[in-house]
Chains A and B, each alone.
Chain A
Amino acid sequence: MIKDDVSQILTVATYEVRKYLRSRRLLGMLILLGIIIALILGLPPALGAKYPSEPNSFVATFATFTGILVILGGVLFAADALVSEHEKRTGYFLFPNPVRREVLVLGKLVASLLTSAAVLTLYYLVATVAALAITGATTWEIGLSYAYALAYMCAVVGVAYLLSSLLKSTVAATVLTFGLFFLIFTILGALLFNAGKVDPWFIPSSASGIISDVLVRPTDGQGPFRQFVPDATTSLLVFAAYFLAGSFLAILLFRRRELSS
């Protein structure tokens, strides 16, 4: 009678994606995406400036905002995924079904990754088409930047799930996910590198620098704060570690967490 775990994971994922579609979070994200794209494409001609002539330089402008989109994806499509079942009491409907908690986490995780990835894919698709239309060419580095963005997205989602399984309120999980990636990791990375003279290769925000760096070599060492960016292999390993550790701990914590309120 009971379907296998994979089937249940897909079922959970399907309904989670439906949640994102109907709760207008995805719509909000797409509107934001539209605004960013409109600004990148509309401002240069409006200000009388020229677009970069090289496809990599052109897409690098888009890549500057990729980190923000990835973090917002984690906030909107992952941070409340687990905690809301407890806080909003929907767990009283979901948990007494014959489905393992780890299956629920994995199903939700699949939905979060797919939804965030869909947003990023659309963003890079527009960037690539625009690059082709304006510069007349595309490069494989654009594809690599997209792949790095997806890897960073996995790290953000993994940590968001860990926070979601740990905290008691959706607001706390959402704010902390945003604050951690947008502020804390960034500040920590800059301070370690500039003041502590430590290479912050292990901080995902620092590693996310490869998303832009693969397109345009950074001008190193200028300004009050320099940013350390590890090499691509290290960065990908850091992303993988955060994703795997975050997801694994989220499963463990969610399994142990009781619905007693």
Chain B
Amino acid sequence: MPPTTKNSVSNGFPVHLAALGKDYGHFPALKSLDLVVSPGISLGFLGPNGAGKSTTIKIMTNLIRPTRGQASLFGVDARREPTRALARVGAVIETPEFYGYLSPLETLAYAGRLRGMARTDIRARSEAVLKEVRMGDWADHRIQEFSKGMKQRLAIAQALLHEPDLLILDEPTSGLDPRGMAEIRDLIKSLKGKGRTIFMSSHLLGEVQEVCDEVALLNHGELLVKGSVRDLSRGSGAATFQATFLRPPSEEDLAALGSVQGVQRLKRAGDGSVDFQIMGGEEAQAEILAAMVRRGLRVTTYRPLGSPLEQLYLDRIQESDRI
């Protein structure tokens, strides 16, 4: 990570947060966050409720002021020069409300005109983005008739309208049904493929794992860990695996498997299944499977319970809460 001196903030990273902090009265919602997102990276911004995710995003989009530190977008301070900082940014923050008396086309025209887009571009892009979020059939309807999910789709459409270089998405699939969530995930992945930088907060770890290259984990206003999804998944501590057998293993089998290196704990899970808590990553996981086979156990399935990222998340959050 680059140093976070005042001078270094003038670089052109899509996102550069330097010692960023926000207090509400005496409560520090965000303590001192240093974070850099490189061009073309999609970063998942994770953390439990109250961790400081929304506070960070609101500072980045000039909805609130930082108490200390600086948030720069493409090297421009979002507080001092918000219009310049936000020019290349599209944002969805929470589920925004729209003006009920406007239609999606009119709403997009409003946003486009504020951004100085030409009328022909606004029309063409509006139709394209509404089609992308599957709102084409509702383009001329008043928004006051819309559900939360439809507003969320429109929010994503307005964020994409001007083809921004940086997308800031706060819970982008909030309010959507499972099909809608999958569509938006696919849309975000396609944007990633086009080289856009994405800064996305989410509670859905599976979603982040599917969409993002990197994750940053926040709790109590502090950054706990940041790294690539792959590295963090590999480097996570204990993982829980479940093995299902054709015939339930004996107590002797369990005792033998419990002594295999890497097994921290095991317990019967019913239906002939056994849950293993394993330390040591993929090597240990493979060794335990081999030990089962060596003992002549007929394994029908052997799968992780929860994603490695989920495990990492829970471990780090619990650790942070203890401190």
Contact = CB atoms under 8 A, between A and B. Distances in A.
B86 A96 contact: yes
Contacts of A3: 113-116
Nearest to A2: B116
Contacts of A258: 58, 63-65
A11 B113 contact: yes
B99 A19 contact: yes
Interface string B106-118: 1100110111110
B87 A99 contact: no
Interface in B69-115: 82-87, 89, 91, 93-99, 101-102, 106-107, 110-111, 113-115
A91 B63 CA distance: 8
Contacts of B158: 93
A9 to B, nearest CB: 10
Given A1-B115, A2-B87, A259-B58, A98 B97 contact: no
B155 interface: yes
Interface in A61-88: 88
B99 A15 contact: yes
A2 B63 contact: no
A22 B101 contact: yes
Interface string A1-13: 1110001100110
Given A1-B116, A98-B114, A93 B97 contact: yes
A152 to B, nearest CB: 29
Contacts of A91: 63
A222 interface: no
Given A2-B115, A92-B94, A97 B101 contact: no
Nearest to B113: A11
B114 A95 contact: no
A12 B98 CA distance: 14
A92 B97 contact: yes
A19 B101 contact: yes
B155 A93 contact: yes
A23 interface: yes
Contacts of A93: 96-98, 107, 111, 155, 158
B244 interface: no
Contacts of B95: 92
B219 interface: no
A219 interface: no
Interface residues of A, number: 27
Contacts of B56: none
B285 interface: no
A92 B98 CA distance: 9
A12 B111 CA distance: 10
A95 B113 contact: no
A259 to B, nearest CB: 4
Given A18-B101, A93-B97, A2 B62 contact: no
A98 B86 contact: yes
B93 to A, nearest CB: 5
Interface in A15-41: 15, 18-19, 22-23
Contacts of B61: 95-96
Interface in B10-33: 24
A23 B100 CA distance: 9
A226 interface: no
B114 A8 contact: yes
A81 to B, nearest CB: 12
A260 interface: yes
Contacts of B93: 92, 96
Contact of B101 (A1, A23, A95, A98): A23
Most chain A beta-carbon contacts within 10 A, residue among B85, B110, B114? B114
29 contacts: A2-B83, A3-B113, A3-B116, A11-B110, A15-B110, A18-B101, A19-B99, A88-B97, A89-B97, A90-B98, A90-B99, A92-B63, A92-B97, A93-B158, A95-B61, A96-B62, A96-B89, A96-B93, A96-B168, A97-B111, A97-B115, A98-B82, A98-B85, A98-B115, A99-B114, A100-B83, A259-B63, A260-B58, A260-B64
Given A18-B101, A93-B107, 11 more contacts: A1-B116, A2-B84, A2-B87, A3-B114, A90-B98, A96-B62, A96-B168, A97-B86, A97-B111, A98-B114, A100-B83
Interface of A: 1-3, 7-8, 11-12, 15, 18-19, 22-23, 88-93, 95-100, 258-260
